[in-house]
């Protein structure tokens, strides 16, 4: 264990045993260094580990504070094996239900578009729209625009990941990348491994391809349950894992580097491939973005997928896959389905990234998301019923709200929809029927009166539902 991990572990124990109360300030970096005898940088790393685990949060220039000092996550489920997944029609109806512009978009998977549509990027698009050569498709057909792939590869290299431009394939968003990867690696009836609470796109892909799914539980402290992971690899003929380890959707945790290293070792030992869904890594508020699994993988077992949808808008429809030896297979599938991504958008992205506008945009975006989410958290921490727990992580724009154990979040969703308020109920993310007491809330909006009224309505609705579920229990 690194020194910083040791220190983080000790502080974590103190938080769990109630040494510090909710929202109480932790010792400053300097004070903690004096108290513990570790260097400032070790203390900073330890605080960042605790931040990524959702145990503490940083406030601008003021220091680090404790998130709600209750147990962090329930250990909800055991390993499970499911055949015949059926979720597609549920997701379809849900997405349709929240689409209307009258519905407040707290159920949306995408950040507030006002934060994403960057003016400079729009100018570059307009400039390219006037140049005929920007439409020429031949340079932008699979595997995609060379300069764009080079810029993406450089971003990996800067993180210490080995990456060649030829390993990158541009796709029509991350969902396309993830689906192409799964299609290239599996056949109907194969076993795949998922976390028990995941982005619905993973369940949808499993249903579409006729795959059997083994799930591992969400770990109460670490997010990822490495013991259950090894047990699942031992017990089932898993071919591929589809995992989200950074800023996990919907829960929000980021898995530590030491667990990521163990995952990489196990992938090699059991000869299993990993499709990594890493669409939110840029939205981690810390100084360093979390490392992708490709950093730890020495044996080309990881196919890493990401996108510009969460940073420049879903309309961009540009994603990519770091596909290594599967680049050809992915392109074959692409040429039979989505073909190429808009050359115009690819060309504008090249200019946007190569002039460093993107970094500036990301800094601004993270700052806003951090501010907006904090306001939602502060309000809800004060107004939600006592038996609710908010899972708060210093990244992204979702809050994962745990309601009283028998509360049905789908009923809350249905009731709020009648009041034009959208939320995402847990039935979209986990199959287990008896634990549907969670809500994902998109908090990427600047607080105003309309939002406050909507959050009041949410709290009232949860209160009523919690009360009726405890009544049913009795
Ligand atoms: C976790 C996760 N993965 C993948 C996607 C798909 O992203 P894209 O719009 O780039 O296809 C989303 C979008 O909601 C997501 O939340």
Per-domain residue ranges for the chain? 3-66, 89-112+364-473, 119-358
Report helix, strand or coil for 280: coil
Q: Are the beta carbons of 443 and 377 closer than 8 angstroms?
A: yes
Does the pLDDT at position 239 exceed 70? Answer: yes
Ligand 1 pocket, 174 CB below 6 A? yes
Which of 94, 99, 105, 109 most suits a substitution to test ligand 1, by most atoms within 8 Å of the C-beta? 109
pLDDT at 21: 73
pLDDT of residue 72: 46
pLDDT score recorded for residue 69: 56
ω before 143 within 30° of 0 (cis)? yes
Mean pLDDT throughout 44-55? 85
- Ligand 1, atom 13: closest residue by C-alpha: 109
CATH code assigned to 119-358? 3.40.640.10
Any atom of ligand 1 within 6 Å of the Cβ of 314: yes
Distance CA 409, CA 363 (A): 34
Nearest Cα neighbor of 24 from 15, 13, 32 is: 15
In this prediction, residue 472 has a pLDDT band, given cuts at 50, 70 and 90, of low
The response to whether residue 201 sits with its C-beta less than 6 Å from ligand 1 reads: yes
Task: Single out the residue of 455, 464, 457, 319 nearest to residue 399, CA to CA.
Answer: 455
Whether 77 shows a pLDDT value over 90: the answer reads: no
Q: Which structure tokens are listed for 327?
A: 């680049």
Most confident residue range from 56-65, 386-395, 415-424? 415-424
Mean pLDDT, rounded, for 167-184: 98
Q: Greater confidence, 288 or 359?
A: 359
Q: Is the CB–ligand 1 distance for residue 318 below 6 Å?
A: no
CATH number of 3-66: 1.10.10.10
pLDDT tens digits for range 437-449: 999 999 999 999 9
pLDDT at 474: 45
Q: How confident is the model at residue 17 (pLDDT cuts 50, 70, 90)?
A: low
- In the structure encoding, which two tokens stand for residue 215, read together? 């799930």
C-alpha distances out from residue 153 to 12, 81, 147, 330, 354, Å: 36, 37, 10, 17, 12
Write down the pLDDT at residue 61.
75
Question: Taking 80 as the threshold, does the pLDDT of residue 129 lie above it?
Answer: yes
Burial of 206 (0-12, 13-18, 19+ CB in 10 A): buried
Ligand 1 atom at minimum distance from 110 CA: 14
109 lines ligand 1 (CB under 6 A): yes
Full DSSP string of 6-72: HHHHHHHHHHHTTSS-TTPBPPPHHHHHHHH---HHHHHHHHHHHHHTTSEEEETTTEEEE---S-S
Q: Relative to the CA of 280, which ligand 1 atom is closest? A: 1
Query: Is the predicted pLDDT of residue 173 greater than 80, yes or no?
Result: yes
Q: To test the ligand 1 pocket, which listed residue (108, 282, 309, 396) has its Cβ within 8 A of the most ligand atoms?
A: 309
The domain made up of 89-112+364-473 has a fold known as: 3.90.1150
1 CA distance to ligand 1 middle (Å): 34
Is residue 70's pLDDT more than 80?
Answer: no
Average pLDDT (76-100) is 90
Mutate to test the pocket of ligand 1, among 116, 249, 337 (most ligand atoms within 8 A of CB): 249
Radius of gyration of the chain, Cα coordinates, nearest whole angstrom = 22
Average pLDDT, the chain: 92
Distance of CA 59 to the CA centre of its chain: 22
pLDDT of residue 93: 97
Residue 129 CA to residue 296 CA, distance in Å, equals 41
Instruction: With a cut of 80, say whether residue 223 has pLDDT above it.
Output: yes
Ligand 1 binding pocket mutation candidate from 99, 174, 249 (most atoms within 8 A of CB): 174
Instruction: Establish whether residue 173 lines the binding site of ligand 1, counting it when its CB lies within 6 angstroms of any ligand atom.
Output: yes
Is 43 a pocket residue for ligand 1 (Cβ < 6 Å)?
Answer: no
Residue 190 buriedness (CB in 10 A; 0-12 / 13-18 / 19+):
middle
pLDDT of residue 8 exceeding 90? no
Residue 78 has pLDDT above 90, yes or no: no
Q: Exposed, middle or buried: residue 163 (CB in 10 Å: 0-12, 13-18, 19+)? A: buried
Lowest mean pLDDT among 122-126, 166-170, 221-225: 221-225
* pLDDT for the residue 471: 59
């Amino acid at each position: 264990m690194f020194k910083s991990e040791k220190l983080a572990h000790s502080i974590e124990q103190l938080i769990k045993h109630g040494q510090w109360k909710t929202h109480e300030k932790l010792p400053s970096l300097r004070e903690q260094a004096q108290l513990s005898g570790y260097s400032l940088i070790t203390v900073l790393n330890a605080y960042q580990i605790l931040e990524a685990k959702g145990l503490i949060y940083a406030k601008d220039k003021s220091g680090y504070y404790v998130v709600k000092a209750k147990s962090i996550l329930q250990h909800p489920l055991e390993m499970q094996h499911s055949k015949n997944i059926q979720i597609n029609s549920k997701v379809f109806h849900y997405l349709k239900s929240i689409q209307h512009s009258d519905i407040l978009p707290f159920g949306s998977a995408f950040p507030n578009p006002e934060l994403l549509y960057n003016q400079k990027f729009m100018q570059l698009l307009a400039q390219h729209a006037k140049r005929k050569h920007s439409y020429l498709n031949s340079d932008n057909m699979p595997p995609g625009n060379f300069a764009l792939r080079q810029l993406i590869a450089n971003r990996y290299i800067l993180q210490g990941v080995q990456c060649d431009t030829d390993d990158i394939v541009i796709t029509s968003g991350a969902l396309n990348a993830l689906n192409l990867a799964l299609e290239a690696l599996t056949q109907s009836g194969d076993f795949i491994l998922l976390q028990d609470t995941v982005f619905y796109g993973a369940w949808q892909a499993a249903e579409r391809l006729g795959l059997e799914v083994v799930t591992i539980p969400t770990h109460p402290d670490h997010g990822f349950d490495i013991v259950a992971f090894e047990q699942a690899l031992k017990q089932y003929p898993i071919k591929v894992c589809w995992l989200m380890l950074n800023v996990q959707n919907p829960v929000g945790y980021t898995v530590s580097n030491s667990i990521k290293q163990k995952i990489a070792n196990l992938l090699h030992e059991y000869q299993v491939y990993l499709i990594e869904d890493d669409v939110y890594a840029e939205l981690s508020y810390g100084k360093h973005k979390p490392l992708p699994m490709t950093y730890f993988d020495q044996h080309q077992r990881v196919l890493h997928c990401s996108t510009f949808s969460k940073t420049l808008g879903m309309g961009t429809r540009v994603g990519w896959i770091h596909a290594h030896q599967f680049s050809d297979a992915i392109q074959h599938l692409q040429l039979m389905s989505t073909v190429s991504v808009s050359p115009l958008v690819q060309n504008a992205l090249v200019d946007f990234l190569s002039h460093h506008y993107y970094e500036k945009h990301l800094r601004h975006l993270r700052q806003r998301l951090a501010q907006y989410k904090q306001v939602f958290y502060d309000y809800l921490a004060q107004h939600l019923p006592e038996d609710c727990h908010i899972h708060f992580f210093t990244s992204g724009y979702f809050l994962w709200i745990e309601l009283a154990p028998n509360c049905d979040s789908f009923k809350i969703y249905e009731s709020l929809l009648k009041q034009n308020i959208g939320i995402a109920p847990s039935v979209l993310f986990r199959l287990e029927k008896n634990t549907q007491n969670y809500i994902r809330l998109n908090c990427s909006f600047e607080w105003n009166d309309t939002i406050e009224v909507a959050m009041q309505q949410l709290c009232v609705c949860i209160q009523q539902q919690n009360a009726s579920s405890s009544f049913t229990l009795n």
